[in-house]
Every structure is written in structure tokens, then in C-alpha cells.
Amino acid sequence: MKNPTSDRFWDTPPVVLDPLVPARATLFWLHGLGADGNDFVTVAETLTLTHPALRHILPHAPRRPLTLNQGMVMRAWYDIALEGERWVPNDDDLRVSCAAVQHLIENEVQRGIPARNIFIAGFSQGGAVALTAGTRMPVPLGGVLALSTYLPLSHELAQRAHPANRTLPIFMAHGTQDPVIPWAQGNQSRQFLESAGYPLTWHSYPMPHSVCGEEIHDMTTWLTPHLSKNP
């Protein structure tokens, strides 16, 4: 198991998009299975047009053999196996990735960005890590943007969620035609988080496992008040 607090977890430095003005907030982007940090550069640049003091950090998940794909090596936040027709994530991998992301957040706080001005966005696998890392972070974050994803380890939420983020703002969005993580699965996670008391904004779009322009607009709109309340 890789040590999440060391450079050994990360095999490639993250993509960093620094603003032209002094950064007042940071948004981490966690890509999906098989992609890399460059996957959301265009989306990040679009958000910068509205939020010019926002730094974007786009880490690359480590390369690992994926059981689901006959051991093919690809970038993944955690391994996935197939039991019958059910996908089974490797919970240990997931926890290690969450710890690694939390360490990146701690580094950003040490750079001078208040934790309340730090956000985590994630797509698919990356969104699962974002939700888990965000709810377990021991300092209050600005929020989580969870795209086309679900909440893993939901049975641990009551015991493992940190009190500092019991009111963590969450933006969730999902395509109604998603064949990878069905809309119903995302909606079930949404309902679970809402029942646990998290302030959550939910959007559905007529799209597959993807991101659309309307979704980017809605993310920008959601971010605006959360950034302005923590100047």
C-alpha cells in the first residue's frame, strides 16, 4: 500500500493553474477512471473566467492494474473488481486515495489558503473520492462538487464523517442516461447525504456519463455565493 503522505503515492506532479491575481481559494479536480489531471483543464479554465482568484489543482491518480479490465494498468483512484454484474471497489485503495487528497489539502492550507476556501470537485471515481475525503476532512472545507458519481462506504458515514464537515455544502450532478454509474445510484447517494443533514444541491441533465455546458454553468453559479461568503 502506498504511503499517501509521501511523493511515492503520486507518480506525476499535478497540473496547477495559478490565477493571474493572488489566489484566494483553491479547487481540486479529481478525474475519472483511465483519464488524468488534464481531463478537466478546459472546465477549470472556464470557471476561472468568472472566478479569477481561484487556483485549480488537478492531480493525476496513480497508475495501477485494474481487475475489472483484466489487469490493464491505468490511472485509477482505486481498483474495481466484478462480482457477477456488480462492480466492487477496493475499499483500502479508496481510503488511501482519500488520505492522499487530504494531504494535498493540508499542503494548500500551509500555503496560506484557508480550508474554508478549498473545494474538491470529482468526476465518477474522482467524485467518489471527493465525497469521502471531503466528509472526513478534520477542518471545514468550502464544499464538494460531485459529478456523475456516488457515495462509497456509505455505511461508514455516521462513524467516520468528521464533525468539522457535518454541514459541508455539496453540489451533485448526474446524467439521466448514464450507463456507467446509473442516475438512480447517484440519486440514492444524494438522498442518503440529504438524510444525514448535508446541504446538497442536485441537478440532472439529459446526457450519458459525461459533463455538459449547462452543468458547467450550474457549477459556476453554485460556487459564486460559497466563494463570496469566505473572502
Catalytic residue list = 124, 178, 209
Q: If you count them, how many residues does the chain have?
A: 231
Give the DSSP H or E segment for 96: helix 91-110
Q: Grid cell 478534520 — which residue?
A: 138
Residue type, 44: A
Give the DSSP H or E segment for 15: strand 15-17
Contact indicator for 59, 104 with CB cutoff of 8 Å: yes
* Measured CA distances, 50 to 43, 54, 224 (Å): 12, 9, 8
Sign of CA dihedral 125, 131, 136, 140: positive
